[in-house]
Chains A and B, each alone.
Chain A
Amino acid sequence: MNTPLTVSELHTALKNKNYSLTGMLDGYFARINSNRDLNAFITVTRDYAYKKAGALQEVLTNNPNAFAEFPLLGVPIAMKDMYLTKGIRTTAASRVLESYVPAYSSTVFERLENAGAILVGKTNCDAWAHGSSGENSDFGSTKNPWNKEYVPGGSSSGSAVAVAANLALVSPGSDTCGSIRLPANYCGVTGLKPTYGAVSRYGVVAMASSLDTMGHITRSVADSERIFMITAGPDGKDSTLVDFRSGKHGVNKKLKVGIPKEFIEQGVDREVRGALESFIKWLENAGHKVSEVSLPSSKYANSAYYIIQPAEVSSNLGRYDGVRYGLARDAFGMEAKRRIMLGTFALSSGYYDAYYDKAMKVRTLLINEVEKVYEDADLLLAPVAPTLPFKLVEKVTDPLKMYLTDIFAATANLTGIPSLALPNGFTKDNLPVGIQLMGKKFGEKVLFSLGKQFQSQTDYHLKTP
């Protein structure tokens, strides 16, 4: 079987009866099996998938409107193991939950299944989504499919690897500070961090509740949009959701793209800068206007983030006491302990004002600056990370060095704006490199529009390792 790279390729093959859904799954599970060394999956849901495929094959055979009624008919998906899946083990990549089988499913998973998607497995990630490299998993590190000596980026490491190595077509991840965009960037695939309040967090293991967003990794922007149209919108279960889909804003043909100068001043790798410059060139050739803008407080975004996030982590992980489910607190790994203690410190009496309250005020400054910049810009363009993919183990002993990988991701999470990571080249060592486009709140449509325009003229997103 020719592995499809996009949903529309898959649907064309199914319509032409090139293979049945069972035949398609045979191909995927053979690939998953032969790529076990990437350690992309914590659980492979083979039996579950074939059962689903059986039911969907009947729809496909008997219902002439099958593809309209099930827009994701037969699409093999891999869920980051942070998403609860009823009856299927969900670990958050932590030993604490190594035997946890949830009694209900996350909204995102339910919606994708209702649209006809087929779960092939639960992907590996940094435990509790704490990490930038995929190395904090209690189930072992995931490897970058372009070069197995390198990290795939995290925390949605297995999700990016699953899509890049064609082990699934779509993989929902979570992004609290780059956890979708970083691995998408290091693996050469497309990653969407949606607006905070666009996609339900219901049934996803909580990390930092004011920052967590539920996005996904796909090869193409067209597929990213297709998935977003299904996952976004209120579900009556997550009280932060906003129904924004009724507001139909047109997208300007010529966009104004701002480049925050603070994102290029800070020690950016030469090849990362090269990728940014080549994207600027493409934008200008396509008739878009590019100009430098300034977000002075963005220099401090990562510091503020590493106070707010652990504070929320210390609270959210407080529920794991081994009473209702999971193991007791001694099963937490080192990174979870670090973050719980850091958060406990920032919230403790005597330090609250100097750290937590200060960070929340910096967050306000940053929001105000972003709003101001968007008065005269449609989008912001920046690198995803200051550095290229690094080698496994290179940063594990120095948590602060690892945390600095996130400096360009923090702005979108602290302010709630959406961001789309796009691959746009390869380094001299043949590792992927890309850029991120940040939009206005609930302005995903503009991101998709520009991203599709870029991908219609380039093929970086279709390269496979």
Chain B
Amino acid sequence: MPMNLSTSDVLRLAALANLTLAKKEVDILKSQLSNVINYFEELKKLRTDDVAPTSRTTGLEGVLRDDQVDTERILSVEDATSGSEKIHNNTFVVAQVITKDQ
């Protein structure tokens, strides 16, 4: 059965993804995303009951470096904060997420 995303589906996905959409964008995305999702229906033709999922192709496991500070490869505080103008006492200023009442 073809999937048709509703306006509230699209708004819920946008909220989950922390995106704000204009009304026009909601309408466009509703049909475009539904189209693409319906394209995925063809995958149902493939039987995958006994197949293990693959998330990576190298087969490498537990690649770790020594737990030691290497000053060659760490950024100075100045460099690390150079991308933002909203810096206070060498830290990033973020938007308030908890109100006083909480």
Hey, which bits of chain A sit against chain B, CB under 8 A?
100-101, 103-104, 196-197, 210, 236-237, 239-240, 242, 297, 299-300, 303-304, 306-307, 314, 318, 321, 323-326, 329-330, 332, 334, 337-338, 340-342, 344-345, 348, 355, 357-365, 367, 399-400, 403, 415-416, 441
Q: Considering the chains assembled together, what is the distance between the CA atoms of A211 and B13 in angstroms?
A: 24
Q: A197-B57, A341-B19 are in contact. Are A365 and B83 (CB under 8 A)?
A: no
A-B contact pairs, 10 of them (CB 8 A): A103-B79, A103-B80, A240-B63, A300-B46, A329-B19, A342-B33, A345-B37, A355-B37, A361-B52, A400-B32
Contact A399–B36 (Cβ < 8 Å): yes
Contacts of B94 in A (CB 8 A): 323
Interchain CB contact under 8 A, B83 and A210: no
Q: Identify the closest chain B residue to A326 (Cβ).
A: B83
Residues of chain A with a CB closer than 8 A to B39's CB: 303, 306, 400, 403
Is the beta-carbon distance between A344 and B43 smaller than 8 angstroms? no
Where the two chains meet, the residues of B that have a C-beta atom closer than 8 Å to any C-beta of A are 10, 13-14, 16-21, 25, 28-29, 32-33, 35-37, 39-40, 42-43, 45-46, 48, 51-58, 60, 63-65, 73, 75, 79-84, 86, 92-94
- By a CB distance below 8 angstroms, the chain B residues around A329 are 18-20
Contacting residue for A344 out of B16, B28, B84, CB 8 A: B16
Contacting pair B51 A348 (CB below 8 A): no
Whether A297 and B46, one on each chain, are in contact in the complex, defined by CB atoms closer than 8 angstroms, is yes
| Residue of A whose beta carbon sits closest to that of B92 | A323
From B40, B54, B92, A306 is in contact (CB under 8 Å) with B40
- In the complex, the answer to whether A242 meets B58 with C-beta atoms within 8 Å is yes
> Does B19 contact A337, Cβ atoms closer than 8 Å?
yes
Q: Closest chain A residue to B94 by CB distance?
A: A323
Question: What would 7 more interface pairs be, CB under 8 Å, given A303-B40, A323-B84?
Answer: A104-B75, A303-B39, A323-B94, A324-B81, A341-B17, A363-B53, A400-B35
Q: B48–A365 contact, CB under 8 A? A: yes
Q: Are A337 and B65 in contact (CB under 8 A)?
A: no
Q: Is the CB of B54 within 8 A of A360?
A: yes
Cα-based distance from A56 to B32 in the complex (angstroms):
52
Residues A196 and B57 in contact, CB atoms below 8 Å apart: yes
Contact (Cβ within 8 A) B55 A300: no
Residues of B within 8 A of A196 (CB): 57-58
The residue from B17, B25, B93 contacting A340, defined by CB atoms under 8 A apart:
B17
Distance of A299 Cα from B42 Cα, bound (Å):
10
Identify whether the interface residues of A are mostly helix, strand, loop, or mixed. helix
* Closest Cβ–Cβ distance, residue B66 to chain A (whole Å): 10
How far is the CB of B22 from the nearest CB of chain A, in Å?
10
Choose one: B10, B51, B84, B93; the contact of A341 (CB below 8 Å): B10
Inter-chain contact A338/B29, CB cutoff 8 Å = yes
- Whether A240 lies near B58 (C-beta < 8 A) is yes
Q: How far is the CA of A418 from the CA of B39 in the complex (A)?
A: 27
Please pick, from A210, A239, A367, the residue contacting B63 in the complex, using a CB distance under 8 A.
A239
In the bound complex, residues from chain B placing their C-beta under 8 Å from that of A441 are 57
- Residues of A with C-beta under 8 A to B42: 299-300, 303
In the A-B complex, list the 10 residue pairs whose CB atoms are closest, starting with the nearest. A325-B83, A416-B57, A360-B53, A103-B79, A361-B48, A239-B63, A361-B51, A197-B58, A363-B54, A364-B54
A415 and B40 contact, Cβ closer than 8 Å, known pairs A103-B82, A340-B17, A345-B33: no
Complex interface: chain B residues within 8 A of A334 (CB): 25, 28
A309–B55 Cα distance when bound, in Å, is: 11
- A344 cross-chain contacts in B, Cβ below 8 A: 13, 16-17
Report Cα–Cα, A423/B54, bound state, in Å: 33
A303 surroundings in chain B (CB, below 8 A): 39-40, 42-43
**Cβ A362 vs Cβ B35 within 8 A:** no
Q: Given A103-B80, A306-B40, A329-B18, A365 and B29 touching (CB < 8 A)?
A: no
Residues of A within 8 A of B65 (CB): 236
Contacts known (A341-B19, A362-B48); A367 close to B83, Cβ less than 8 A: no
Interface core residue of A318, A334, A341, A357 (most chain B CB under 10 Å) = A341
Q: Which residue of A lies closest to B79 (CB)?
A: A103
B56, A240: Cβ atoms closer than 8 Å: yes
| Residues A337 and B57 in contact in the complex (CB < 8 Å), given A362-B46, A365-B46 | no
Are A362 and B43 CB-contacts (below 8 A) given A103-B82, A240-B58? yes
Nearest opposing residue in chain A for B49, CB measure: A361
Instruction: Pick from B16, B81, B93 the residue with the most CB of A within 10 Å.
Output: B16
Residues of B contacting A321 with CB < 8 Å?
Answer: 18
Contacts of A358 in B (CB 8 A): 43, 48
Contact A103 B75 (CB under 8 A): yes
What separation, in Å, do the CA atoms of A419 and B10 have in the docked complex? 37
Report the separation of the CA atoms of residues A196 and B79 in the bound assembly, to the nearest whole angstrom: 30
Q: Is the CB of B36 within 8 A of A306?
A: yes
